[in-house]
């Protein structure tokens, strides 16, 4: 009888223990600071601090279809991998054996319906190739022959610097390139991406910025929403959802300017109707205050694409890259 009672007590204790554990697992995870449920935050991996820890992930660069055979260079498609997605782009290969110094080219925003590989970079890329630079201009996800981006509008944005980080790391697998001599050329929204990449890597990649979008996130997006069909209503709703779970400062390059090392060259037209001159003036002043090597040129009457001063700007960029890449990065 005693054995039976002992057995029943043990059985009851084990059952209660199992029941408690199952009940605890069914409860939401509670923050030690209160009764707020802790949610998974998949976009945390794109904060500047976490991207600095990630760095670039190298893949093979594959060369594809030849698009143009011109005097002094050849233009063709190239492909590489980033975050398990395939990204296409345009490469300009100078004549000769190499290895050649490399310029990564980051374009501004283009309507996907009107985009072809090379839009926003091809003309300047050809001039750089004729001067002896190998140029790589990624299309980014959703453009050209690249894979489609994720559905999340913010993740799509945050993946642009990631794509550049991975391209920078992949250059070493391109036999014609000199991975010790890499510069960055950028225009408009590409300038924001370039500055983000410079901060995240902490490297002294010589970089030129044409009319860079330079306001903090998310104002750098909201400023342009009057051009949307719904005047940005849907995007503001998505932004409100984002800010519920995330601190926008952790995703804004303006919060990490002290991570920059230079050298930088900036070009801005006074008739730019996309990037206000005051934005660029303010950016340059903030960078100068950090005692970073920066040259700033303003072009009276030039527009967002530096029309009217284009050749002068390109010549300055060529000279800038020749001087800064002479001894490698």
Q: Is 229 helix (H, G, I), strand (E, B) or coil?
A: coil
Averaged confidence pLDDT in the chain: 89
Sequence-separated (6 or more) residues with CB below 8 Å from residue 36: 30
pLDDT at 234: 81
**φ and ψ of 188, to 5 deg:** 60, -120
Instruction: Kindly report which listed range (14-28, 126-140, 230-244) carries the lowest average pLDDT score.
Output: 14-28
CB burial of residue 174 (10 Å; 0-12, 13-18, 19+): buried
The strands making up 264-269's β-sheet, listed across from edge to edge, are 62-70, 73-82, 85-94, 134-138, 100-106, 177-187, 207-210, 264-269, 294-299
Quote the pLDDT of residue 327: 63
What's the CATH class of domain 41-324? alpha beta
Rg of the chain taking only CA atoms, in angstroms = 25
Residues 6 or more apart whose CB falls under 8 angstroms from that of 111 comprise none
CB atoms within 10 A of CB 207: 28
Q: Is the pLDDT of residue 7 over 80?
A: no
pLDDT tens digits along 96-110: 988 999 999 999 999
- Which range has the worst mean pLDDT, 174-178, 187-191, 240-244? 240-244
DSSP, residue by residue, 258-306: GG----EEEEEETT-SSS-HHHHHHHHHHHHHTT--EEEEEETT--TT-
Q: Taking the model in full, what pTM does it have?
A: 0.86
Sign of CA dihedral 44, 185, 322, 134: positive
Q: What are the structural domain ranges in the chain?
A: 1-38, 41-324
Residue 249: band (very low, low, confident or very high) from pLDDT cuts 50, 70, 90: very high
Q: 240: pLDDT confidence band, cut at 50, 70 and 90?
A: confident
Average pLDDT value for residue range 188-204:
97
């Amino acid at each position: 009888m005693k054995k039976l009672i002992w057995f029943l007590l043990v059985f009851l204790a084990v059952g209660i223990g199992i029941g408690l554990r199952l009940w605890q697992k069914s409860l939401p995870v509670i923050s030690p600071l209160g009764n707020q449920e802790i949610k998974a935050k998949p976009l945390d991996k794109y904060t500047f601090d976490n991207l600095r820890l990630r760095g670039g992930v190298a893949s093979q660069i594959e060369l594809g279809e030849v698009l143009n055979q011109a005097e002094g260079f050849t233009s063709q498609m190239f492909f590489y991998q980033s975050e398990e997605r395939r990204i296409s782009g345009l490469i300009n290969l100078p004549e000769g054996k190499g290895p050649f110094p490399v310029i990564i080219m980051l374009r501004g925003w283009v309507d996907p319906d009107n985009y072809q590989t090379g839009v926003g970079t091809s003309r300047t890329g050809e001039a750089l190739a004729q001067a002896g630079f190998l140029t790589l201009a990624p299309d980014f996800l959703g453009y050209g022959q690249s894979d489609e981006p994720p559905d999340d509008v913010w993740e799509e944005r945050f993946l642009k610097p990631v794509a550049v980080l991975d391209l920078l790391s992949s250059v070493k697998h391109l036999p014609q390139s000199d991975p010790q001599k890499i510069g960055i050329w950028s225009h408009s929204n590409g300038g924001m991406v370039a500055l983000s990449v410079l901060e995240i890597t902490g490297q002294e990649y010589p970089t030129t910025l044409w009319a860079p979008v330079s306001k903090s996130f998310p104002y750098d997006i909201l400023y342009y929403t009057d051009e949307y069909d719904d005047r940005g209503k849907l995007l503001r709703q998505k932004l409100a959802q984002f800010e519920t779970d995330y601190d926008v400062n952790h995703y804004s390059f303006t919060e990490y300017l002290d991570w920059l090392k230079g050298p930088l060259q900036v070009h801005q037209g006074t008739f730019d109707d996309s990037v206000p001159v005051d934005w660029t003036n303010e950016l340059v002043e903030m960078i100068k205050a950090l005692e970073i090597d920066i040259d700033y040129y303003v072009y009276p009457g030039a527009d967002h694409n530096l029309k009217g001063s284009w050749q002068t700007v390109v010549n300055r960029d060529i000279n800038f890259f020749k001087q800064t890449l002479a001894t490698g990065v």
